Amino acid sequence: MLISHMSTEICKLMSLNQDKTNRRAFFVKLGLAGIGSVLVSKWMDKTSWAPNMGSTAKHLIIARDAYINRIKNSLDPEINVKARQGLPGKKFVLVVDLSRCRNARKCMEACAATHQLRPDQFHLNVLEMRDDEHTAPYYLPKHCQHCDNPPCVKVCPVEATYKRTDGIVLIDNERCIGCRYCIAACPYSARSFNWFDPKDAELYKDVPYNVERNVPQKKGTVTKCTFSADCLRNGELPYCVRACPNGVYYFGNLYEDSVTNGTTGETVKLSKLLEDNGAFQLLAELGTKPSVYYLPPRRNN
Amino acid sequence: METTFTGLQQQQKIDFDKMVTALTVVSRRKNKILEYWILFLVFCVGVGVYFYIKQLQTGLGITGMRDIVSWGLYISTFVLFIAISLIGSLTLAILKLLNQHWATPITRLGEIVAVGSLIGALLIIVVDMGRPERLWHIFVYGRLQSPIVWDIIVVNTYLIISLLLYYLPLIPDLHILHRRNLMGRGFKAKIIKFLTFGWQGTEEQNITLHKALHALMIIVIPVALSIHTVTAWLFANTLRPGWDSTNFGPYFVSGAFVAGAALMIILIYGARKVFLLHDYLRPLHFDRLGKLLVLLMLVYLYFNINEYLVPAYKMREHEKHLLDSLFTGEFAYLFWFSQFGGLILPTFLLIFKPLRKPLPLTIISFIVLVAAMIKRYLIVIPTLTHPFLPIQNYPEYYKHYSPTLPEVSITVGCMAVVLLVITILMKIFPVVPLYETAKEKGIPQSIINRTQP
Ligand code: SF4
Ligand code: SF4
């Protein structure tokens, strides 16, 4: 109303001393331009811009439905308030033993199923790396590095993405405004945006939102690896860590100096593991201080 | 009073009447070209709105952006709008503070450009948001360490100052329009009367207005510089190759002047032709603006050399991939066009006086402006297509970016909004300041205040 009134006023001002018919003719033309624009747009836009999701295998569907039922009913109403604080006495670290990775991608599958990801969205991406043309290629599972100096957290205008005392960086998709500045800022390309309605949006409709799992996903917001904060709260290892068949992942608490292998269940001293194997961090030179350590792909032990 | 006019005053009176007629004729008469131009812009806005609604329904996936290239045409156009807005307040405030009287007829146009492009910038940034309905989160949860929040603060400050710099000098003009009943009677006249805020043109009022304007023109300089510096920091505050540069603030600011000056020249040409302002927007203005453009382009060129040559000398691994794509790879055509066609060649051409005549200068400015758009695109996209880690397991097209039809239409719609705001502001009130021009011609207040032509 107000706008239309204002626009008539502006148009009146614009056509100061013209007679009424002239003005009316102009408005008719304006209307025609409006209608014309819709018609032309319709003609230009014959495509459906939503992607084709493909079909899901039967056993996966059964697993998915069981999962949705489970998370639908097990929620602490205070969880998203608690999720702003870290778990006391913890500082989580992930150690990835590159020499054991065979690109089985079981971790990626578990991750995508848990976090309601489309096939082109990754919280965890196994990359085939080659440092130089003369060196051998190797596989590198890349998570969010849960940086201690996180560029993504610094730039978020609304504190939708935040860092907890236990080292975990999370995203609150009920607060995220979808500016995607954090994606631009993350040097590890660890973040993903919901460009469309998320996968299986209908099925997840009644699931209460849990920041620590970042499920259900929401259109127009950002998502990324949560270090499976929901599992950690229950004293379990992250989904990917448990899913690996090859013993690639160790996960644990820096303060206790111990990490546990997700495949073998063996617990080792973190400092010794890192020292004995010449551990490194990804793009350490950027000063982001990652919480993820890598053990080199080939070593003599 | 009528009887006491001397010969000189009689002449001044005639001059002033002529001036009022010439400068207000567009506001009062129907103008075919302008009408079709407005219809065309409304049409573009309509197409943009159609696709924006579609975008709201489908999601930002309707654009060509994806997880790798997560900022695209919208953000580069945002940067362009911010850049253009700089010219209005800044250059013209500086020219005025330096007492460059030749610039008086174009000052108001500068403010109009600033206001229009800032509105466009605010619009397109909302268009780019995945969750526009959560805009209020910025005011409730806003955190001062985010460059986006800095940007929002300075852009709005600048918009307010620009509106004031547009409006305050307009008050005496409105007074003249009102006194002469040029706005008809009734409702319209009442609005105009209200907008004059009791301006009578007394000595005291003149001093107050002058002081206020002077203060604003000084304040606007740091504010305008900071809006584009902060916009540069949106990028420079990340670690990405191509953005991670301490040079970015001045680099953006100097580029902004070039883009803004080019648009100004085009608009002045348009105003001269369509609004029949040949007597006020003279070849002199084109000549001077042409020279100014040369200076601005040389400064910008200097920053470009800094920005590309220093990393190119080192060729650090990640920067090398980026620079290769710009110098010889997929962006090479655009890159060399923007550097040679849009910067070096125009600088060279505009050294020659005949090419600073209205038509050739306008054509050159148009090319400079197109190159400026391309330049913004080249600042945003290639950096995103060259992340630190390899792009794998994504569909092949994720490695490149090409804007989709809806995305282009929405962007064009936003540009049309900017031009629409500019056109309307140019049309409703005199685009060349009436009062200031009269004052500079030495026409006394008593003649300006006369009611009848
Ligand atoms: S890896 Fe990226 S998303 Fe994760 S904390 Fe670091 S900057 Fe943020
Ligand atoms: S996209 Fe969301 S999480 Fe990322 S910076 Fe913007 S508001 Fe924060």
**Tens digits of residue pLDDT in A69-109:** 888 876 788 888 889 999 999 999 999 999 999 999 999 99
Residues A249 and A130 in one domain: yes
Query: Is A33 part of any domain?
Result: yes
pLDDT at B451: 66
End-to-end Cα spacing for chain B: 14
In Å, what is the CA distance from B343 to each residue of A217, B160, B254, B296?
Answer: 46, 32, 12, 10
Determine contact: B398 vs chain A, CB below 8 A: yes
Per residue in B278-322, pLDDT (tens digit) is 888 888 989 999 999 999 999 999 999 999 999 999 998 889 999
Using an 8 Å Cβ cutoff, are A199 and A53 in contact? yes
Contact A12 B188 (CB under 8 A): yes
Residues A32 and A92 in one domain: no
- Domain span at A205: 77-295
Mean pLDDT of A216-243: 95
| pLDDT at residue A66 greater than cutoff 60 | yes
How distant is the Cα of B347 from the closest Cα of chain A, in angstroms?
Answer: 34
At B403, is the secondary structure helix, strand, or coil? coil
On chain B, the residues whose CB falls within 8 A of the CB of A43 are none
Q: Which residue has the higher pLDDT, B187 or B107?
A: B107
Q: How confident is the prediction for chain B on average, in pLDDT?
A: 89
Residues A128 and A215 in one domain: yes
Give the domain B23-394+402-442 fold: Formate dehydrogenase/DMSO reductase fold (1.20.1630)
| Per-domain residue ranges of chain B | 23-394+402-442
- Name the closest residue on chain A to residue B136, using Cα atoms: A177
Phi, psi of A176 (to 5 degrees): -55, 135
Chain B stretch 24-43, residues whose beta carbon is closer than 8 A to a beta carbon of chain A: 27-30, 35, 38-40, 42-43
Chain A stretch 34-73, residues whose beta carbon is closer than 8 A to a beta carbon of chain B: 34, 36-38, 40-42, 44-45, 47, 49-51
Determine contact: A28 vs chain B, CB below 8 A: no
Residues 6+ apart with CB under 8 A from B119: B159, B417, B418, B421
Owner of token pair 């100014």: B292
How distant is the Cα of B226 from the closest Cα of chain A, in angstroms?
Answer: 18
Residues A158 and A114 in one domain: yes
On chain B, the residues whose CB falls within 8 A of the CB of A154 are 145-146, 237
Cα(B437)–Cα(B425) distance, rounded to whole angstroms? 19
Residue B23: which of B108, B136, B90, B133 has the closest Cα? Answer: B108
Per residue in B59-93, pLDDT (tens digit) is 999 999 999 999 999 999 999 999 999 987 777 78
Phi-psi region of A193 (alpha: psi -120 to 50; beta: other; left: phi over 0): beta
Counting the structural domains of chain A, the total is 2
Residues A129 and A207 in one domain: yes
C-alpha B141: how far from its chain's center? Answer: 31
Query: Is A177 part of any domain?
Result: yes
On chain A, the residues whose CB falls within 8 A of the CB of B65 are 195
pLDDT at A79: 86
Cα(A228)–Cα(A94) distance, rounded to whole angstroms? 12
A-to-B residue pairs, Cβ atoms closer than 8 angstroms:
213
Asked, as a colleague might, if the bond just before B354 is cis with ω within 30 of 0, I would say: no
Contact B67 A288 (CB under 8 A): no
Query: Is A301 part of any domain?
Result: no
Query: Is A163 part of any domain?
Result: yes
User: From the list A127, A176, A282, which residue is nearest B131 (CB)?
Assistant: A176
| pLDDT at residue A176 greater than cutoff 70 | yes
State the distance from the centre of ligand 2 to the C-alpha of A177, rounded, in angstroms.
6
| pLDDT at residue A51 greater than cutoff 80 | no
Amino acid at A115: H
User: From the list B42, B43, B239, which residue is nearest A151 (CB)?
Assistant: B239
Q: How confident is the prediction for chain A on average, in pLDDT?
A: 89
Q: What is the CATH number of the domain that holds A109?
A: 3.30.70.20
Q: Which residue has the higher pLDDT, B102 or B41?
A: B41
Query: Is A67 part of any domain?
Result: no
Per residue in B149-205, pLDDT (tens digit) is 999 999 999 999 999 999 998 888 888 888 777 766 677 777 777 888 888 877 888
Residue A117: which of A58, A199, A239, A189 has the closest Cα? Answer: A199
Cα(B106)–Cα(B274) distance, rounded to whole angstroms? 16
Residues 6+ apart with CB under 8 A from B442: B12
| pLDDT at residue B123 greater than cutoff 90 | yes
At B203, is the secondary structure helix, strand, or coil? helix
Residues A3 and A101 in one domain: no
Ligand nearest to the CA of A179: 2
Cα(B26)–Cα(B64) distance, rounded to whole angstroms? 42
Query: Is A65 part of any domain?
Result: no
Q: Which of A167-171, A217-221, B224-228 has the lowest mean pLDDT?
A: B224-228
Strands A292-295 and A267-269: unpaired
Determine contact: B209 vs chain A, CB below 8 A: no
* pLDDT grade for A20, boundaries at 50, 70 and 90: low
Residues A12 and A90 in one domain: no
Using an 8 Å Cβ cutoff, are B129 and B123 in contact? no
In Å, what is the CA distance from B110 to each residue of A9, A272, B162, B174, B263?
Answer: 24, 67, 9, 19, 10
Residues A201 and A261 in one domain: yes
Owner of token pair 């690996």: A244
State the distance from the centre of ligand 1 to the C-alpha of A295, rounded, in angstroms.
20
pLDDT at A247: 94
